[in-house]
Structure 1
Amino acid sequence: MQAAMSTMDGIINTVSANIPMAPLFGLLKPNGKMIMVGLPEKPIEVPPFALVARNKTLAGSCIGGMRDTQEMLDLAAKHGVTADIEVIGAEYVNTAMERLAKADVRYRFVIDIANTLDKAAAAPATTE
């Protein structure tokens, strides 16, 4: 992170965990903005000097409710906007994690839980 200090005009913070905010503000250029869309369960600590010293801004944005989400999905469907995905079974999750660590992923992984559960239910019970 040291190499990236004061290099970013903006950060969209999607983290939903309580993390230290000061290092993130350090990444922003003067007049930089951080937009919070993640919702940590506890209040975040914002060191005032990290904002005031270089005129930085912290703001929030709601990601939208069910109506907004449905409107976005309808618009995407109308215009043929789709996502490229790689569907995997639950038994492949460890391999998928290894691939993520190696940056060997071209598309978003989607875990097919329903078929994984169906296969598990259909498998004969084993006894030891």
Structure 2
Amino acid sequence: MQEMETKLDFIVDTAAGYHPLDPYLNMLDVHGIMVLVGFPSEIKLSPISLSIGARNLAGSVTGGTKDTQSMLEYCAAHKIYPKIELIKINYINEALERIIKNDVKYRFVIDIENSFK
């Protein structure tokens, strides 16, 4: 993460559990913005992480069912698809190990339909 200090303009933080924010804020360039869309139970940060570089921390909700449906329809109409790695349920332990090792490029999606054939 030190290699990335002051390299990013924008971070979307989707984590819902507690995690320190300072290492991520330090990756923001001057006037960079970090937006929390997950709902961690608590947040802790050093004010210097915001003050140095005039960084910003913001929050946002992702919208309700109507907004989500509208977004899905837009994506379908414009052929915008998520990048995922489809895995079978019996690969879950390996997937967790890869998460721990930071060896994940896309979101894992479990293929339940084909996992039990």
Same fold by TM-score, threshold 0.5 exceeded? Answer: yes
Say which one has the larger Rg.
1
TM-score by length of 2: 0.74
- Between the aligned partners of 1:84 and 1:17, the Cα distance in structure 2 is 24
Shift of 1:104: 8.7
Within 5 Å, give how 1:1-128 maps onto structure 2. Answer: 1-40=1-40, 42-83=41-82, 87-96=86-95, 109-114=108-113, 116=115
TM-score by length of 1: 0.69
Match in the other structure for 1:123: none
Structure 1: 5+ residue stretches without partners: 120-128
Structure 2: 5+ residue stretches without partners: none
Shift of 1:31: 1.5
Q: Which residue identity does 1:23 align to in structure 2?
A: P
Q: Which residue identity does 1:60 align to in structure 2?
A: G
CA deviation string 1:52-104 (max 9, x = no partner):
23211111121111111111112223334344656543223345557776959
RMSD across aligned C-alpha pairs, in angstroms?
3.0
Aligned sequence identity (%): 40
Paired residues in the alignment total 116
